[in-house]
Chain A
Amino acid sequence: MSALRMLSSAARRAPSTLTQQRRGYAEVADKISLSLVLPHQGIMQAIFTSQDVVQVNLTAATGDMGILANHVPSIEALRPGLIEVIESGNSSKKWFASGGFATVHPGNKLTINVVEASPLESFSSEAVRANLQEALKVAAGNGSEEDKMEARIEADVYEALQHALGSK
């Protein structure tokens, strides 16, 4: 009888070691596997893939957000804006994207599909400034509703570009 009681009390004590949490918040154990894909740079040769990403900052239509490991699966539409990728060596890469979708899959996979994107260095702030002036002129002018809306959309893109280039 007493042997049985000893066994059951031992069994009650054991689980405490098994349920100890492995994941600490101080060190990031899980990484995101990121694929940044454009139509003109196909799946085999995406513009950027990495297994070693710690954080991705995105400009979603619902607001700016940062994706960490173990994010809940979700699909976010992206505004024209900066995509910042932080890898484990603390190096960060930045692209400006024209818009698209970011999909978080189960298992720490993040796929970003955008129509056009380029590293920040490939943009010319002169061209952006000139384009912005032109677009604002058309948007405030007296063209058709469609033309003005087009110009307004372009102006938003150029403003976002200026903001991104300015805060490099």
Chain B
Amino acid sequence: MSSATWRNVFTYNKYAQITARAVRQSLKESERVVAEKRGVTALKYQQWENGVGGQQVFLNPEEDKGVGKSAAV
């Protein structure tokens, strides 16, 4: 089973993300839409210098533009 060899290629976090995505994609239509939103992650970072924050930058500009703030469940 190749399930042992993924360790050469991926970190555990990445592996967990892949299996979670596979599970979400197998749900019934009604539940899948809600579930897919959980799979979206975006990162914004900001450089601080001398107490002043710089520009807030998306890590992946094209992908993350569409991700709005979501209320915590």
The residues of A with any CB-CB pair to B shorter than 8 Å are 40-42, 79-80, 96-100, 115-118, 122-124, 127-128, 131, 135, 145-146, 149-150, 152-154, 156-158, 161
Main secondary structure of the interface of B (DSSP, over half): helix
Number of A-B contacts (CB under 8 A): 88
Listed by A's residue number, 23 A-B pairs whose Cβ atoms lie within 8 Å are A96-B23, A98-B19, A99-B20, A100-B16, A118-B35, A122-B28, A122-B31, A123-B28, A124-B28, A127-B25, A127-B27, A131-B22, A131-B25, A135-B22, A146-B10, A149-B6, A152-B2, A152-B6, A154-B21, A154-B22, A157-B26, A158-B22, A161-B23
Q: How far is the CB of A111 from chain B (nearest CB, A)?
A: 17
Q: Cα distance A152–B29 when bound, in Å?
A: 24
Residue from the list A97, A122, A149 in contact with B27, Cβ < 8 A: A122
Chain B's closest residue to A123 (CB) is B26
The residues of B with any CB-CB pair to A shorter than 8 Å are 1-3, 5-6, 9-10, 15-29, 31-32, 35, 38, 73
Chain A's closest residue to B14 (CB) is A150
Q: Do A80 and B23 contact each other (CB < 8 Å), given the known contacts A122-B31, A146-B9, A153-B18?
A: yes
